[in-house]
Amino acid sequence: MASTVDFRTHVDQSCRYSEEFVNIYYDCMDKKRRNLTRLYLDKATLVWNGNAVSGQEALAEFFESLPSSEFQVLTSDCQPVHEQATQGQTTLLVLTCGLVKFEGNKQRYFNQNFLLTAQASPNNDQPVWKIASDCFRFQDWNS
């Protein structure tokens, strides 16, 4: 349980998990888009420039509709989410900012944040992280 681990250890672990996740997520987004929904919980929600997309099927359809991408992450940060908010379920808030070029579009800056929850993994002592929610916006979305 997170509460019995000291906060510093918890923060250190969170940073490592977060960095791993960020690498996997954008690599998948750019190169293995078909596998991307595997990173999401069944009932996950994505809010993309103010549009909500929920559930595996809708997410798959949405990602299919996006042109191919080249993401470049410039900053990332991460916080362990307080357990009172998650009923003890280990959860991380992961935040990124960077540049993205969608094919046929100009390169734009974006901000994105994720809530990741730890899923127990039967044959591994490391948890498997799944996206519970994802919020994406272009920085210049309203210009």
Partner 1 sequence: IGFDVGSCFGSDEIKALILRFLQYYSIYDSSDRQPLLDAYHDGASFSLTTPFSSQNPSSSLGEYHKDSRNLKRLKDPMRFRLLKHTRLNVVAFLNELPKTQHDIASFTVDVNTYTNTLLTFTVSGVFKEVVDGKSREPTMAFSRVFITVPAGNSLCIVNDHLFVRMATTEEIRKAFVAPAPTPSSSPVPTLTA
Q: Is 42 in the site for partner 1 (CB under 8 A)?
A: no
Structural tokens at position 54: 């929920």
Q: Smallest gap, in angstroms, from Cβ of residue 67 to partner 1? A: 7
Structural tokens at position 46: 């994505």
Q: Is 59 in the site for partner 1 (CB under 8 A)?
A: no
Q: Give 33 or 137: the residue with its C-beta nearer to partner 1.
A: 137
Region at 71 (left for phi over 0; alpha for psi -120 to 50; beta for the rest): beta
Please pick, from the candidates 5, 32, 49, 128, the single residue that binds partner 1 as defined by CB under 8 A. Answer: 49
Q: Is 97 in the site for partner 1 (CB under 8 A)?
A: yes
**Residue corresponding to tokens 């690498």:** 23
Number of residues lying near partner 1 (CB under 8 A): 49
Closest of 63, 55, 41 to residue 132, by C-alpha: 41
